[in-house]
Structure 1
Amino acid sequence: MIVITTPTGAIGSRLLGILLEHGPAGGEKLRVIVRDPAKLAGPVRDRVDIVRGSHGDPATVDHAFAGADAVFWLVPPDPTAPSLDAAYSGFTRAAARAFTAHGVRHVVGVSALGRGTPVADRAGLVTASLAMDDLIAGSGVNYRALANPSFMDNLLRQAHSIRDEGVFTGTLAADLPAPLAATGDIAAAAARLLLDRSWTGIGEVPVLGPQDLTPDEMAQTMSEVLDRPVRYRRVTLDDLAAATASSGAGDAFVRGMVDMMRAKDEGLDNGVPRTPRTTTPTTFRQWCTAVLAPAVLA
């Protein structure tokens, strides 16, 4: 049996769809942990075992992991957490104990690029995510961390600005090439690992997308796909801190976001070579056509 956390989220919902399309693998069941089962489509609810609750709750994961062979693990963002350790490792500690208690053999987690780079220990949210990976690995499971760069899908948060002002913003240098990944490709990578559990030990699976792009190159692609001018405007880390705080985030999350973006500007995401194994298929142009354009032009 495979247990899926965040089954209504951007990655978890896509993963669940892939696994349902695949059909029962060797007769194993799918179980989801979800706070509100009503957010699952009716046909989905009929095909999965549902455990209601938070996967940060000890009783919930103890119940959900009973009889499980594999788990998809994703920590939801918690902008109000008192510390980054609480947001990542603190949220995960009960699950790590339950992995051991119930003999879960394989875990696939959503994490980040950066391990081994000079800035990995001062990269805010990413540093906390890597510490979470170490916690899971220490539980004795076979573990694969999906090491992701920034998501293409994050641009959906700026769909109104792109539509109304022809502008998207960020803190990276306009001429800094960096990898990007589509959430659909992350879900597909997770599905492959969960369905073929011949792997053992601890490791990372980088998810890099087909090419590195600068923010200016992204703006050019968006302009061509949307058939309207789009430009990139760089903002300061102080601007980012103010905007994040104004959205209701606490001090720990604000600092974590700022430190992560500073580290990305210093090469956090650029430490893994692109190879056939690390390259996922969706180009930024394809993503803009299929996902961004409908959101902007709606």
Structure 2
Amino acid sequence: MIVITAPTSTIGRLLVDELLDRGASLRLVARAPSRLAPGVHERAEVVEGSHGDAAVIDRACNGAEAVFWLAPDDGDAPSTQAAYVDFTRPAAEAFARHGVPRVVAITALGRGTPLAEHAGLVTSSLAMCDLIAGSGVAFRAVACPSFMHNLLNHARAIKEQGKFSMMIDPDLKAPTVATRDIAAAAAQLLLNDAWEGVSQVACLGPEDLSPSDMARIISDVLGTEVAYQQIPGSAFKARMTGFGMTEGMAQGMADMFDAKNKGLDNAEPRTSESTTPTTFRQWCEEILKPAVTA
């Protein structure tokens, strides 16, 4: 039995589909089971509730052979510590109590670098992984740079204003990864019961691109000029709080992008194992373009 948390998230949906297609026995922890894809209820066991709830995650971990752990995006959390470490604490206790053999979690790049010590969401995500690893389970952290998927948040601006804006330096080349490739890496680990110990698996996409590179590719795919605009950290933070995010989480986002601008995502060496297949152009053609033109 493989337990999947956040099964209605972008990564979770893809992971559930892949594991079910490969015949895995799944138990899904979902706060809103009605949001699961059609047909999933009939093919998987569902535990309703938040995986941050001690009673819910305890019930889910009973008899589990492996757990996929993904802390949810929570703009209402008072701090990044609360969103990642405090949220995960009941699960780490349940992993130990039930003797869960293996846990796979999604996290960020930067482990072992000074930049990761003051990187907001990244710092707390890495601390979350330390907490899980300390529970005694065999653990793999799937470490990722920024997701291509995040650009979907800019689809309306791309369509109506012909631009997208972020904190990242326009000429900073860095890895970016498709969520489908993250899900594939997680599925491979969850279906393999041979690994032990604690380690990290990086997913770096196939190429390093700057926001300016991305703008050129998006323009080519859409057939219209799209520009990139860098915004300062103060404006970015104000935008996040304007969307309803708490002060602590907005600051954590700004601190993360500040660390990325200083090279946080560039510290991980690219290898054949960490290079994932989906190119940014392919993602734009298959995912971004339909979202922009819809």
TM-score tier, shorter chain, comes to: over 0.9
The Cα RMSD (Å) is: 0.8
Q: Secondary structure at the match of 2:92?
A: helix
Tell me the percent identity. 54
Counterpart of 1:81 in structure 2 is 77
Which residue is 1:267 aligned to? Answer: 263
* Aligned counterparts of 2:78 and 2:169: Cα–Cα separation in 1: 30
Tell me how far apart the structure 1 counterparts of residues 235 and 274 of structure 2 sit (CA, whole Å).
Answer: 33
Question: Offset of 1:79 from its aligned partner?
Answer: 1.4
Instruction: Name which of 133, 140, 144 aligns with 1:144.
Output: 140
1:244 aligns with 2:217: no
Q: Is 2:184 the counterpart of 1:196?
A: no
Whole-Å separation in 2 of the counterparts to 1:205 and 1:106? 14
State the Cα distance separating 1:39 from its structure 2 match.
Answer: 1.1
- Aligned counterparts of 1:242 and 1:9: Cα–Cα separation in 2: 26
The residue number in structure 2 matching 1:222 is 218
Structure 1 residue 129 corresponds to structure 2 residue 125: yes
Q: Which residue matches 2:278?
A: 282
Q: Where in structure 1 do 4 or more consecutive aligned residues deviate above 6 Å?
A: none
- Supply the AA of the counterpart residue of 2:18: I
Residues 187-243 of structure 1, C-alpha deviations (whole Å, 9 max, x = no match): 000000001121111011111000000111000000111111111011110110100
Distance in 1, Cα, partners of 2:122 & 2:128 = 10
What SS does the aligned partner of 1:44 have?
coil
For 1:18-57, what aligned pairs fall within 5 Å after superposition?
18-24=18-24, 29-57=25-53
* Structure 2 unmatched ranges of 5 or more: none
Matched, 1:154 2:150: yes
- Identify the residue that residue 2 of structure 1 maps to in structure 2: 2
Change (3 A) 1:106 1:242: same
Q: 1:297 deviation in Å?
A: 0.9
Count of paired positions: 294
CA distance in 1, matches of 2:113, 2:175: 15
Q: Counterpart of 1:11?
A: 11
CA offsets, 1:159-182, max 9 Å, x none? Answer: 011111110111111110010010
Deviation at 1:41, TM superposition (A): 2.9
TM-score normalised by structure 2 residue count: 0.99
Match of 1:211 in 2: 207
Structure 1: any 5+ residue segments left out of the alignment? Answer: none
Letter in 1 for 2:226: V
